[in-house]
């Protein structure tokens, strides 16, 4: 896992052809807005979260965020345990995000 600042995250994401953005927040948090093209898998769903993660392509790069960076860090660790090699955590989470958001309400 690599912790990236918003600038590093956005730059690396823009230049990564195999990038997938993963939002691990709750449904209520996602309703307030989501980074464009992100996939939402709530980390609080326990085994369902693990099952959905296991179904993802391990050859892709995953750029993961939550509200503040804590849950996404946990998600990165879980994904590494499941043999995902390219996982990146957004430091400060969406609270620090200055880019576009898509309104999900």
Identified catalytic residue from 41, 53, 66, 79:
66
Per-residue model confidence as pLDDT tens digits over 47-75: 999 999 999 999 999 999 999 999 999 99
Specify the pLDDT at position 105: 58
How many domains would you assign to the chain?
1
Give the range of the structural domain holding residue 24, as residue numbers without chain letter. 2-96
Q: Say if 104 falls within a structural domain.
A: no
**Using CA atoms, how far apart are residues 24 and 105, in angstroms rounded to an integer?**
17
CATH number for the domain harbouring residue 80: 3.40.250.10
The average pLDDT across 17-41 equals: 95
**Using CA atoms, how far apart are residues 16 and 13, in angstroms rounded to an integer?**
5
Active site residue 66: yes
Q: Say if 39 falls within a structural domain.
A: yes
* Coil, helix or strand at residue 93: helix
> pTM to 2 decimals?
0.94
- What's the start-to-end Cα distance of the chain, in Å? 32
pLDDT band at 46 (very low <50, low <70, confident <90, very high): very high
Specify the pLDDT at position 100: 85
């Amino acid at each position: 896992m690599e912790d990236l600042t918003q600038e590093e995250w956005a730059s690396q994401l823009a230049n990564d052809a195999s990038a997938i953005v993963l939002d691990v927040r709750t449904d209520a948090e996602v309703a307030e807005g989501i980074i464009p093209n992100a996939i939402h898998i709530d980390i609080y769903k326990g085994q369902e979260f693990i099952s959905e993660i296991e179904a993802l392509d391990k050859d892709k790069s995953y750029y993961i965020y939550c509200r503040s960076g804590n849950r996404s860090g946990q998600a990165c660790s879980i994904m590494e345990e499941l043999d995902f090699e390219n996982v990146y955590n957004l430091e400060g989470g969406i609270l620090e995000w200055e880019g576009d958001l898509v309104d999900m309400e």
